[in-house]
Amino acid sequence: MSTPTAKDMQRLIAGELSLRSRIAYTALLLLTLGAAGAIGSLWLTEPSLPLRTHLAFAVLVGINLSWVSYATWVLTRRRVLLAGHRIIAGRMAVTFSAVFVAGAAIVGIWGPGGSAAFAAAGFGLVMLAVAIALLIHARKNFARLLERRRVLEVQLQEASR
Amino acid sequence: MHTETERQALEDALLVTRCQLGEAAAFDALIERWHQPLWRYARHATGNDDAAAETVQDVWLRVLRGIVRLRDSERFRAWLFGIARRVVMDRLRAAYADRTVDADLATLPEPQSVEPDYDLDMLHEELAQLPVIEREVLVLFYLEELSLQELSDVLAIPAGTVKSRLFRARQLLRRQLTNKGVIR
């Protein structure tokens, strides 16, 4: 391996900072969490299922939760979300959860879903509440960092005089 | 009135804050600023170019992944070298069984100043022959100019232990130089 230059390291970090991959993992997290909620709702509200069907539901929920864990691990340990990314991820989560709740409610009211759809809508409401809380926290954190940047810029100007 | 060190800490803090916001240009500036000191440390600590290159790469990845959790951004320098040290130690741990320094401190002579015109390259070579614990404390203190408090943070030991480790490292280096007849 040749001696790495600052340019090599800048290229390495630029690749790691990819917004597209963060959006992809956030989408994976939301979709698999939504799928786990929908399948889980169906599973819990279906009366008198045979053992084989219980197992099938459990496997499906388990697979989706595994993907949720993987995406969470990537977003907290590998493709870490910086303050700006967190706002984008928060907006995605709020939008997805709102659409999920609306979809489940429509199926519950007008479709054949019945109690499973309402249970899914309830799960979606919890997701929506968490998403809103995360988005508010992300915006506050972003504003705090902006203020910190402003203060540091003033201090540096004074230090340079 | 700010000292040069305080001004540099402020510049680091500003870059760190911009990185935490997600500005790619701030990461470029941070790397531009700290790549060489980091490389120097890694080269001294590992003793060869390949290991140093892997170390530096690993350190920058850990910086990217951990920078959101850095609360006190003015302490960036100590935080950065703390990461570098952990990476080096992880590598050493993986490569060798634990090796301890067995220096007979009681027989070491009193410290004297190193000749100021001593060839720097030769000094680097002599540093490379010291045990890793002593080498890193000398490199961080004299070459990277970390303060005792920063060294205490980086090495995760009390300031008093930093002083005694520095003392021992200086003695070892002096003994090495004396044995080779470079100094008397």
Among A2, A5, A13, the strongest candidate for a mutation testing the B interface, having the largest count of B CBs within 10 A, is A13
**Which residues 44-83 of A have a C-beta within 8 angstroms of B?**
77-78, 80-83
Cβ contact, residue pair B10, A152, below 8 Å = yes
φ, ψ at B154 (rounded to 5°): -65, -45
User: Which residue in A has a C-alpha nearest to residue B63's C-alpha?
Assistant: A13
Among B113, B123, B41, B120, residue whose Cα is nearest residue B83: B41
Question: Which pLDDT does position B127 carry in this prediction?
Answer: 84
Contacts of B75 in chain A (CB under 8 A): none
**Average predicted confidence (pLDDT) for chain B:** 83
ipTM of the complex: 0.89
User: Does residue B120 surpass a pLDDT of 70?
Assistant: no
Nearest CB to A156; choose among B10, B19, B66: B10
Q: Rounded to two decimals, what is the model's pTM?
A: 0.80
Which of chain B's residues have a Cβ under 8 Å away from the Cβ of A80?
Answer: 64-66, 68
**Contact of A117 with A42, CB cutoff 8 Å:** no
For A12, the closest of B36, B39, B60 (CB atoms) is B60
What percent of chain B is modeled with pLDDT above 70?
85
- The fraction of chain A above a pLDDT of 70, given in percent, is 99
Do B13 and B73 meet the contact criterion of CB atoms below 8 Å apart? Answer: yes
Which pLDDT belongs to residue A58?
96
